[in-house]
Structure formats: structure tokens, C-alpha cells
Amino acid sequence: MTEAKKARKARRITILGSTGSIGVNTLDLLEFAARRGEAEFQIEALTAHRNVALLAQQAKKFRPRFVAIGDEALRDDLDAALAGTGIETGAGPSALEDAAARDADWVMAAIVGAAGLHPTLRAAKRGASIALANKECLVCAGDVLTAAIAEAGGELLPVDSEHNAIFQVFDFERPERVSRLILTASGGPFREWTRSQMAAATPAQAVAHPNWSMGAKISVDSATLMNKGLELIEAAHIFPISHEQIEIVVHPQSVIHSMVEYVDGSVLAQLGTPDMRTPIATTLAWPDRTPSPSARLDFAKIARLTFEAPDPVRFPALRLARESVAQGGVFPAMLNAANEVAVAAFLAGNLKFLDIAGVTEQVLEQAGRRNGPARLSTLDEAVAADQEGRRLAALAVAARAAA
């Protein structure tokens, strides 16, 4: 590698949510790139919510300048774990924002849920390159976030494998030549289950994804197919295309990560093994490429790629997401908030699997009776919709538990 190329890749990096599945994969990839001399980087900041032990371990290894724990009560534990290292620490939600505000030029947004909204927005407003895994913040406040990125002259690099795939083959110069986006879905662990089997599904069964190893929340979203619904809304924010031109097809092998159809009928796809280090590598080096340790596709071994339509009866989450994005305004934020509350209740053993979509639908019906802005253009509006969605969902969960 030439010195010029190396210098161009020297980066200051912050990882919001470094202890999660995406965060760990990002650090793994950075270590791989550094070992091969492919990239030079300084970690500016790392954040976690409660996992002090892993955060401290990562900090000792990667030597960030600043480390933040979201749970204020764990401040002393973090300080004790990093005593004598000289690494600056912070605790509480404001410390997550402080981490995002620091001068990193590439920020991995990998906090799970709407909790990532404020820190991600903070990094966006500085004009950083945002590698966005945290789809919920785009669903909850997509217009606010994309406007902040554009205004500050930054860029949004999608990490979600489907959007990363589309990003690689989408003709941004001539978007009117694109006729359709086709998001692929693995179908999740319950693809072949009956509705009555799904009614009795346990958290352990729901998080056992057939192809991908991910955090608990997104794994449950994959089992309900809400993940694909959130991705549909996410895609409508990232790409200059109407939500009506986005289709979803179940592709159980998870080899084709998504496709773009052009007006002449040509379909361009991106393929790869189900390893998040590939899309993370794309965002790290974009528009260049950097090697990744992910396994390569063995087409002869795969032999067959299959496709099927998603079942709207067993997976109502897709319809809810479509209705929300069509209605706009507060609906996507409330959909996301209700789903987050319902998934957390399911994982805690307080809600049945099929009631995740049930609670979400109930919240959206209640939202439909209220008036709200047709488009959320401020952070306050998005946060208010998120909080109202959470409040209504908590009531709906409690009512079902009491029934």
C-alpha cells in the first residue's frame, strides 16, 4: 500500500454501542485491518449501556481517549475498572452525547433502539461520516437525522446488510432509472412454524436466528419480521425512492442481501456470506474497499437460492410497518416505540410472542385517533411521539399481563 493511500485511511473512530454485536464486529474488523497494515486509526470514544466489564476490556486494548457508560449508576464501577489508564470516562445519557460530540470523522452508530437517537444526531450535526446500524433512530426520526447529515455536509453509510447491499448498486446519479428495491428477508426462525406454534414461542427460540448472530432485540424483530418492516422505513429514508416501490421477498439462504431493479428490467444485487464484517468494511473504506476476514461464498456448496412471498397472516408486522410509513407523521416513531416496549416485555417473559405485533397494532390504532404533524421535522416532535408510543405500549402490555 502506498503512503498516500495509508494516510487517506487514517481515521479517528468512535463506536456508539461498542459492546454489542455490531460494536464487537467493528472492533474485530479494525484489529484485522490494523494487523494487515490496511488502516491506521485512533479510537476516539467507545460507549456501552451496562456492560462495564467488556467496555473496560475494550478500552484497555484499543486505548480510546474517552469511554462512556449509559447507566449513570455504573460510573464508579467504570472509573474503578479504568483506574490508572489515563482514559477519560463519563456516565449517563449526556456522556453518550459527549462521546458522539468528540472529533471522530467516522462514527459507528450501533446503540440498539431509539436510545441511539440523541448521540447519533449529535455526531451527524458535526458532519461526521455516520456508519448507521441503529435503524430505529432512522425509523423514529429519519427526516431529522437525514436533514442534519445533509446540513452539516456529512454522509450516511448504511451498515444494515440490506441497505448496504442497495447502497453498493444504487445509481444515485440517476435515481429515476430505479424502478424497485427488493429487500430480502431470511424469514427468521419461525418461517415454517404454524401460528399456533408461534403463539407458544419462547425468547430462546425467537433469538435463535438461522443465519445471523445478532443482539437479542434485532433477533426477535427478525422472528416477527418487524425487522424487515423497520428496514422498509429505513430504506425509504436512505434512498430517493417511494416506499411503494420497495418490496420484500423471503430468501432463506441470506446470500443475496438485497436488489435494485432498473427501468429496463435489469436487477443488480450484492451477495455475501452472513457476516456483518463485510458491510461494516464497506462503510469503513467507502468509496474504496478494504479486506475483511469474513468467509467467502461457496456457490457450488450453496447450490440453490430460493425465494417466497412473506406470509401476511403469521407476520402482521410487515403490514403495520407499511401502514405506518404510508401514514407518516408520528406513526413510524410510535410503531418503533411500541415494538421496542413489546419486545423487551417478551424477552422478560411478560408478553406472548404473537402479542408483540398485537400490542404494536393497538398502539397504532390509538395513535390514529390523535392529531399529530404530518411530518416530524424536529427532534422534540420525534421524542414526543416515541414517548407517547412507549406509554401506550406499556399500558397495553400491562393489560395483557392482567388478563
Only segment of 56-64, 127-135, 255-263, 367-375 that touches ligand NDP (CB under 6 A): 127-135
3-class DSSP state of 304: coil
Number of residues in contact with ligand NDP under rule CB under 6 A: 29
Site track for ligand NDP across 34-73, x = CB under 6 A: --------------xxxx------------------x---
User: Could you give the CA distance from residue 329 to residue 302 in angstroms, rounded to a whole number?
Assistant: 43
Residue 107 binding ligand NDP, by CB under 6 A = no
Q: What cell numbers appear for 101 in the block?
A: 460530540
Give residues 131-150 in contact with ligand NDP (rule: CB under 6 A): 133-136
**C-beta neighbour count of 264 within 10 angstroms:** 7
Residue 391 binding ligand NDP, by CB under 6 A = no
3-class DSSP state of 285: helix
Only segment of 111-119, 123-131, 186-194, 377-385 that touches ligand NDP (CB under 6 A): 111-119
In the block, cell 486509526 appears at: 41
Among 115, 198, 220, 382, binds ligand NDP (CB under 6 A): 115
Residue 215 binding ligand NDP, by CB under 6 A = yes
Give residues 6-35 in contact with ligand NDP (rule: CB under 6 A): 17-23
Residue 270 belongs to what H/E stretch? strand 267-271
Among 117, 139, 149, 214, binds ligand NDP (CB under 6 A): 214
Shortest Å, Cβ 263 to ligand NDP: 29
Shortest Å, Cβ 135 to ligand NDP: 5
Q: Which is nearer to ligand NDP, 218 or 345 (CB)?
A: 218
User: Could you give the CA distance from residue 162 to residue 158 in angstroms, rounded to a whole number?
Assistant: 9
User: Could you give the CA distance from residue 382 to residue 353 in angstroms, rounded to a whole number?
Assistant: 27
Residue 112 binding ligand NDP, by CB under 6 A = yes
Q: What are phi and psi of 61, to 5 degrees?
A: -80, -45
Q: Which is nearer to ligand NDP, 19 or 324 (CB)?
A: 19
3-class DSSP state of 88: strand
Q: Which is nearer to ligand NDP, 276 or 284 (CB)?
A: 276
Among 125, 152, 169, 212, binds ligand NDP (CB under 6 A): 212
Q: What cell numbers appear for 100 in the block?
A: 458522539
Q: What cell numbers appear for 366 in the block?
A: 390509538
Nearest residue (beta carbon) to ligand NDP:
20
Residue 69 belongs to what H/E stretch? strand 66-69
Beta-bridge mates of residue 109: 16, 132
User: Could you give the CA distance from residue 64 to residue 12 in angstroms, rounded to a whole number?
Assistant: 10
User: Could you give the CA distance from residue 290 to residue 300 in angstroms, rounded to a whole number?
Assistant: 26
- Residues at the interface with ligand NDP (CB under 6 A): 17-23, 48-51, 70, 96, 110-112, 115, 133-136, 160, 212, 214-218, 276
